Structure 1
Amino acid sequence: MPVLTRLIPSPVVVDIRPGALDELAAVLADERISHSGRLAVAVSGGSGAKLRERLAPSLPGATWFEVGGGAIDDAVRLADEMKSGHYDAVVGLGGGKIIDCAKFAAARIGLPMVSVATNLSHDGICSPVSILDNDAGRGSYGVPTPVALLIDLDVIRDAPIRFVRSGIGDAVSNISAVADWELAHRVNGEKIDGLSAAMARQAGEAVLRHPGGSGDDGFLTVLSEGLVMSGIAMSIAGHSRPSSGACHEISHAIDLLYPQRAASHGEQVGLGAAFAMHLRGEHESSGLMADVLRRHGLPVLAQEIGFSDDEFVRAVEFAPETRPGRYTILEHLDLSPTQIKDAYADYAAAVSA
């Protein structure tokens, strides 16, 4: 009987440790990603400028491109600027917006992309998706998984703590997202990939149950690994299901309904995940999730991200419209506004006790 296997799209290098940034040139050469050193490096105009000054001597063959924002127009402009060069690879050096633009631009011009994350705000550092602003609000664009990923924990620690908190919320929300995927499998027969689901869930559980704090190398390593596994889980599945369920629908609804007031992605999906677990009747899991989020300084109530109860209820009601065809606990229960309001009141009382 033949042994059946499958290839898993994943980076050839994942380097997570203090000082990893200083080894970028060596990693690219050793792994034959860019032996010549001809690189197109995308950076921001803010923190990226300092990192450029630090890295430029070790990357003499690189051309540096400043990215103005995180919109589809920025990514297309970046690709147009890069396509006239003869580069081995594209390096995205920065936070989520820079990396998403670099992934899209690299895909557009057919080059491998190297992700060098300077914060841990979400799982886009290693995902096959670029989240970019567009005329309709925000869109998700399929792209190849980065060929290599470097995370320097010294750089992560120097970034504002809000980025780590956002990454915590995004990682923990996997637990709720996988529960939604399994629900869709039971009710509608939606195909579920067991390996993808296992990786996403364990990534969330590892972060949820780690006793460390945001300044500990041990915790930051687990968080980094969790975000990497989330990205690979999406690559295995071929879609965002393992990391995106009701939690993300609620976040997308907040972005669309209150675009000038939205909190960070991780804060919103963390709150959405804790509430979604409550809707499933898994009150112990919801309480644990809320306790952990609160311990790390994340919000667990609507008022903690600047919204009234009625505004949050409106977002939950609108949430299913953000991802037509996706079946989660929200579509399953199909609650009326009054029922959502009552459920949120029960949740708020439980996590405030």
Structure 2
Amino acid sequence: MPVLTRLVPSPLVVDIRAGALQDLGAVLADQRLSANGRIAVAASAGSGARLRERLSPQLPGADWYTVPDGTLDAAVTLADQIKKGGSYDALIGLGGGKIIDVAKYAAARVGLPVVAAATNLAHDGLCSPVSTLDNDAGRGSYGVPSPIGIVIDLDVIREAPDRFVASGIGDVLSNISACADWELSHRETGEPVDGLAVAMARSAGETLLRHPGTIKEDGLLVALAEALVLSGISMNITGSTRPSSGACHEMSHALDLLYPERSREHGEQCGFGAAFASFLRGEREVAGQIATTLHRHGLPVTAAQLGFSAEEFAEAVQYAPQTRPGRFTILEHLDLDPHAIRDAYSDYVKDITAGLAG
């Protein structure tokens, strides 16, 4: 009887613990990522720059490149600098999600493996096969190889602003809604669903939904970091963002495009979008559970808390399907007109507000 196997793209090493960055050089050598120490490090101007003095002794042969922002131009510039810098074994992205996205894109252009050394846990880009970069048209998503290594130092994560850690919770919770949208598409359009990807992405979201800890506790930080990794691997499995991106992300992308100067953290918007999308699907209990968890971690659960009026949010919801042409979610299924969107949002606010008050 033949044995059928499935190869699951995943990092060679995932190191999540206090002090992990202190062993970065040893990890690179032990995993044969860099035997001779020829490493390029793409560091943010903030947290990455502050860590340079601490990490330089471990990486004596490394060349350091400062990444100013999370733009496509910065990623292309970094790739050009690396080409001129010589022969490297790997590229380390040291910083927050934007810097890691820049590093992933640059590494793809020059054919290097990338190691993500995250300094915050704002979103699942640290392990995903996608780079989200600002460009002249607003913001774009680019397919890239996922990181070959993930290093998350809890000592460093504790130094990050609380908002950037809480944002990651919102991003992981949105997996619950994204998977429900994928299953809805399967029922309505026949789109195939990858059960393994769903199992990983939804499990990651439900872990954070039920975790009793706070972002000040190592237990929650470890659970969040592991959930972000699982979320990224789920996207690797299916070859797209489908297990973690549904109506929740469409709404977030719409806010980014319509109000680029006012949009908030990706995970803040996606978490709120997940609660509203769940409400639209008639899953009021799930919407309430997501909103309760978001609220407990200080994340927004209404448009007003995000800084938008009900009318502005309704405009974003109507525009949202245009951000992901061909993706079927509850928004495409209901195809609500502006009046119906405002009514649905009003009902959502009443329901969620009553639930939180109770």
Paired letter, 2:96: G
What are the residue-to-residue correspondences of 1:66-81 with 2, within 5 Å? 66-81=66-81
Paired letter, 2:79: A
What are the residue-to-residue correspondences of 1:338-353 with 2, within 5 Å? 338-353=339-354
Paired letter, 2:51: L
Percent pairwise identity: 67
1:89 is matched with which residue?
A: 90
Distance in 1 separating the partners of 2:50 and 2:138? 31
1:300 is matched with which residue?
A: 301
What are the residue-to-residue correspondences of 1:197-276 with 2, within 5 Å? 197-276=198-277
- Matched residue SS, 1:350: helix
Distance in 1 separating the partners of 2:186 and 2:198? 12
Q: CA deviation at 1:255?
A: 0.5
- Matched residue SS, 1:42: strand
Paired letter, 2:78: L
1:175 is matched with which residue?
A: 176
Matched, 1:116 2:117: yes
Paired letter, 2:41: V
Distance in 1 separating the partners of 2:146 and 2:320? 28
Distance in 1 separating the partners of 2:55 and 2:166? 27
Paired letter, 2:257: L
Distance in 2 separating the partners of 1:322 and 1:144? 23
Paired letter, 1:5: T
Q: CA deviation at 1:137?
A: 0.7
Distance in 2 separating the partners of 1:238 and 1:45? 32
1:143 is matched with which residue?
A: 144
Q: CA deviation at 1:49?
A: 1.4
Distance in 2 separating the partners of 1:330 and 1:44? 37
- Matched residue SS, 1:133: strand
Distance in 1 separating the partners of 2:289 and 2:104? 35
What are the residue-to-residue correspondences of 1:186-197 with 2, within 5 Å? 186-197=187-198
Q: Stretches of 4+ moved more than 6 A in 1?
A: none
Unaligned runs of 5+ residues in structure 2 are none
- Matched residue SS, 1:116: strand
- Matched residue SS, 1:158: coil
Q: CA deviation at 1:6?
A: 1.3
- Matched residue SS, 2:249: helix
Q: CA deviation at 1:134?
A: 1.0
Q: CA deviation at 1:81?
A: 0.4
Paired letter, 1:236: I
Q: CA deviation at 1:47?
A: 1.8
Paired letter, 1:82: I
- Matched residue SS, 1:83: helix
Distance in 2 separating the partners of 1:139 and 1:348? 31
Distance in 1 separating the partners of 2:151 and 2:75? 21
What are the residue-to-residue correspondences of 1:277-288 with 2, within 5 Å? 277-288=278-289
Q: CA deviation at 1:341?
A: 0.7
Q: CA deviation at 1:188?
A: 0.5
Distance in 1 separating the partners of 2:193 and 2:98? 30
- Matched residue SS, 2:34: coil
Distance in 1 separating the partners of 2:47 and 2:341? 42
Distance in 1 separating the partners of 2:182 and 2:28? 37
Q: CA deviation at 1:83?
A: 1.1
TM-score, normalisation: structure 1: 0.99
Paired letter, 2:242: R
Count of paired positions: 353
- Matched residue SS, 2:145: coil
What are the residue-to-residue correspondences of 1:21-60 with 2, within 5 Å? 21-60=21-60
1:335 is matched with which residue?
A: 336
Q: CA deviation at 1:97?
A: 1.0
Q: CA deviation at 1:68?
A: 1.2
Paired letter, 2:149: A
Q: CA deviation at 1:46?
A: 1.7
Further displaced range: 133-142 or 236-245: 133-142
Q: CA deviation at 1:75?
A: 0.4
Distance in 2 separating the partners of 1:113 and 1:256? 29
Paired letter, 1:22: Q
- Matched residue SS, 2:192: coil
Q: CA deviation at 1:139?
A: 0.8
Distance in 2 separating the partners of 1:299 and 1:173? 13
Distance in 2 separating the partners of 1:288 and 1:23? 39
**CA-to-aligned-CA distance 1:172-209 (integer Å, 9 cap, x gap):** 00000000000111110101110001100000000111
Paired letter, 2:248: C
- Matched residue SS, 2:158: helix
TM-score, normalisation: structure 2: 0.98
Distance in 2 separating the partners of 1:260 and 1:207? 30
Distance in 2 separating the partners of 1:226 and 1:44? 24
Q: CA deviation at 1:135?
A: 1.2
Distance in 2 separating the partners of 1:197 and 1:255? 26
Distance in 2 separating the partners of 1:349 and 1:112? 49
Q: CA deviation at 1:35?
A: 1.1
**CA-to-aligned-CA distance 1:254-292 (integer Å, 9 cap, x gap):** 011111111111110011000000001110110111011
**CA-to-aligned-CA distance 1:55-84 (integer Å, 9 cap, x gap):** 001110000000111111100100000013
**CA-to-aligned-CA distance 1:210-235 (integer Å, 9 cap, x gap):** 00000110100010001000100000
RMSD: 0.6
Q: CA deviation at 1:50?
A: 1.2
Paired letter, 1:277: S
Distance in 2 separating the partners of 1:50 and 1:135? 30
